[in-house]
Structure 1
């Protein structure tokens, strides 16, 4: 035992430790550089690294987690926890991976359809119609956001705006999200969440007092004719929703209509109560 009560473990050279951990010295140097597994001691004169036998399990764990393509920060979180906590963190990471892979699988199928010339077959399942929408006073919140952050931001921003609408005469129409520029993993919009309200004067007073908190403002959305298709909750996720947008664009071209403003998603149903197959959203373009 040492003076502080800790067990005095023999220090192993990096070669000896690598053999016990069934890893290469190169991998151990990398883990040290990444802050995932630091040597127990580094000789100041020679720079030689030394490890304790008790570090073998962490070394092996780090190596296995790296095989899952886990980001370094997540590896540190898992390796730094114990027992059920570590297992739960790994499970949370893998759930995220499966969700991403499912989305990529859907996107791959969608792209296969486009590349093979079957786009028209994909678009045929979407029924496109037009509707005239009157001018509306809306309170809005805008943000530059990438596609992976978009669903969370939409839910949060519409929730904030609907709460604010109570002080502005109440919600006077279906909330919607306007895309002023492309939102993808490379392009960050901006996107604008909008909630129609009944009292313009009250809305402007509210925005003047609270608007700076969430980049909120009040504006009048002009009357418009919308070309739209109605989609179910399961189709709202990216990349499934891409086919709906393109179906509307194809229909517009066939009808000789031109885009008269930025595209949007109109949320007319209770999102939480809706099932995967329930209609919840209109994908729409203002047309002329």
Structure 2
């Protein structure tokens, strides 16, 4: 929206303003359309844009933020935040996310180097793989299509909601787990299914019916199965370290000719908040055909 200006106020043409603000006329037109930097006046007859001299600082701020590869929507949040301190806080929040993503990519690049050179197990530790039998369970669940960057927060929140709901279903009777019905990555969104075993099937069905379809909540019977699994420490649950654990189990299965009998899963058997980085907290597991399973050995 074009601003109201005093008719006696000196205005700069778009060319003069572009030169002073170090932005191109093309960029200024784009930022006008996006509401980032509206001209002070637009000539009704010619369509020429005019800017006030005191808009230069905002224009330069936009230009500098663009050099950080900040998305235009985030730039709008910064420049409209109010005073300089509020703008700085918005910038800090954005940059913290950039650094976190960069650190994650650096770790992934290191993992990939180890994987391509055949050293991933050496880099991320040896994994003891074994088979275990799991009885039939009634589980209450939440399912969601989700990308990898949202996954850790969603796992914690969804399992928390389900454990709270389990109080109305006779209580929790086993370790919470997450089933990956399809790959979850930066490009593939699963779905993933958070599951909590409960004692009372009838109460679980009533609980799920009361919640309706909120958050993809369901109740189902998880059949008895045999799992090929490896136990990992809290520090190894982070991406991409956990990928090495999944690969170790799959390699162990390939060596023994075992058949996949269902989607892979993560089983959280320990108190996550109380655990230290080296404490075992999670099973990385694949259901396997019962007739072919063998005793556990060390992979890698």
TM-score (norm: length of structure 2): 0.88
Within 5 Å, give how 1:20-59 maps onto structure 2.
20-59=20-59
Q: Any conservation in 1 of the 2:147–2:188 contact (CA below 8 Å)? A: yes
CA deviation profile, 1:128-182 (whole Å, cap 9, x unmatched): 2221111111111111111122222211211111011001111101100001111
Q: Bigger shift: 183-192 or 235-244?
A: 235-244
**Against the structure 1 CA distance between its residues 12 and 229, is the aligned structure 2 distance closer, same or farther, given a 3 Å change threshold?**
same
Q: Any conservation in 2 of the 1:146–1:189 contact (CA below 8 Å)? A: yes
CA deviation profile, 1:185-220 (whole Å, cap 9, x unmatched): 221111111000111121122222224222222111
Q: Any conservation in 1 of the 2:13–2:50 contact (CA below 8 Å)? A: yes
Task: Compute the RMSD of aligned alpha carbons.
Answer: 2.0
Structure 1 residue 239 displacement after superposition: 2.6
Structure 1 residue 122 displacement after superposition: 4.5
Structure 1 residue 8 displacement after superposition: 5.9
What is the aligned partner in structure 2 of residue 108 from structure 1?
109
- Partner SS for 1:149: helix
What is the aligned partner in structure 2 of residue 196 from structure 1?
197
Unaligned runs of 5+ in 2: 290-300
Whether 1:65 aligns to 2:65 is: yes
**Against the structure 1 CA distance between its residues 252 and 8, is the aligned structure 2 distance closer, same or farther, given a 3 Å change threshold?**
farther
Structure 1 residue 120 displacement after superposition: 5.1
Structure 1 residue 119 displacement after superposition: 4.1
Q: Any conservation in 1 of the 2:22–2:63 contact (CA below 8 Å)? A: no
Within 5 Å, give how 1:181-220 maps onto structure 2.
181-220=182-221
Structure 1 residue 33 displacement after superposition: 3.2
Structure 1 residue 22 displacement after superposition: 2.9
Structure 1 residue 7 displacement after superposition: 10
Partners of 1:258 and 1:123 in 2: CA distance? 26
What is the aligned partner in structure 2 of residue 158 from structure 1?
159
**Against the structure 1 CA distance between its residues 120 and 5, is the aligned structure 2 distance closer, same or farther, given a 3 Å change threshold?**
closer
What is the aligned partner in structure 1 of residue 297 from structure 2?
none
Partners of 2:124 and 2:236 in 1: CA distance? 13
Q: Any conservation in 2 of the 1:9–1:53 contact (CA below 8 Å)? A: no
Aligned residue-pair number: 285
Unaligned runs of 5+ in 1: none
CA deviation profile, 1:222-243 (whole Å, cap 9, x unmatched): 1111111122223223333212
Partners of 1:180 and 1:237 in 2: CA distance? 20
Within 5 Å, give how 1:124-143 maps onto structure 2.
125-143=126-144
Q: Any conservation in 2 of the 1:122–1:243 contact (CA below 8 Å)? A: no
TM-score (norm: length of structure 1): 0.92
